[in-house]
Amino acid sequence: LGGGGRAGRACERGARPPAGAPAMKKVLPEDEGRDEEAEDEEDEEAADEEDDEEAAGDAKGGGNKKGGADVLGLDADSDSDDDDSESAGSASNTGLTEAQNRLLYLISLYTHAARTEDEKEEWIRKQAVQVLIYEGIVLQVLDYDYAPSSEMIGLRRAYFNVSQEGKSDLDFLREEELLNGLKLSSKEYQPITCYQISEKGEEVLKKLGKQDREAVHEMVYEPGTRELLKVTWDEGDEVFYLVSA
């Protein structure tokens, strides 16, 4: 139960040096080698004296000092944690989890509640939301699990990848009145559930962080545009697709 036609994202990991690359080894003439050995011994003695002084300072200070690499790593982690806290704070002040924030924002992009008689109501079917949830999982935008599940498509039953965690969050957002719900009947007289962002949900989304918004944008918009991808069912292939209008 997911959209097709998206190109996979590739990433490079730890590129190795080309084969046959020379080792970084310096070869010295015999005389120069002896001079270098004497200098190396002096350098080693000086380094040992410095290490002894540092060890004495560590013992005096309670042994809390670590090697230079560890200290730098600790500082970097601290800075990273501060940055993560700031970014998490901008998203978590809604009182929802990251996945719930993104799911709510996703539905808000596809729906609209009419405020005047002339405005048009826009809703999204539960099955379409499930397709978008699966797409979000594949693109690592939504942190949910998924598994094959038997679902009704018209009068036919088929197996699709469905996220139970995503379903649970949908129910939670509905219970918190962040989403409006609507029950309809299909032409085959099958029950259909639709969702729409509520006024309360729109107020919550005003506190949503930029990082969460951009993550959802990458998933629901045609690349390089602000054109929403629509969920369509292909009866011949028996698969859902995300296509541009």
Residues 103 and 166: beta-carbon distance below 8 Å: yes
More confident residue, 29 or 153: 153
Position 50 pLDDT exceeds 80: no
Exposure of 129 in the CB half-sphere (CA atoms within 13 A): 30
pTM: 0.63
SS3 of residue 29 by DSSP: coil
pLDDT digits (tens, 9 = 90+) for 6-42: 333 222 223 333 333 333 333 333 444 444 444 555 5
Asked if the model's pLDDT at residue 61 lies above 70, the reply is: no
Q: How confident is the model at residue 44 (pLDDT cuts 50, 70, 90)?
A: low
- pLDDT at residue number 129: 97
Identify the DSSP state of 26. -
Q: What is the pLDDT of residues 66-115, one digit of tens each?
A: 333 333 333 334 344 444 444 444 445 889 999 999 999 999 999 998 88
- Which pair of tokens denotes residue 66? 């670590």
Per-position DSSP letters for 87-108, written without gaps between them: HHHHHHTTSS-HHHHHHHHHHH
DSSP label at 22? P
Tokens of 135: 């797409």
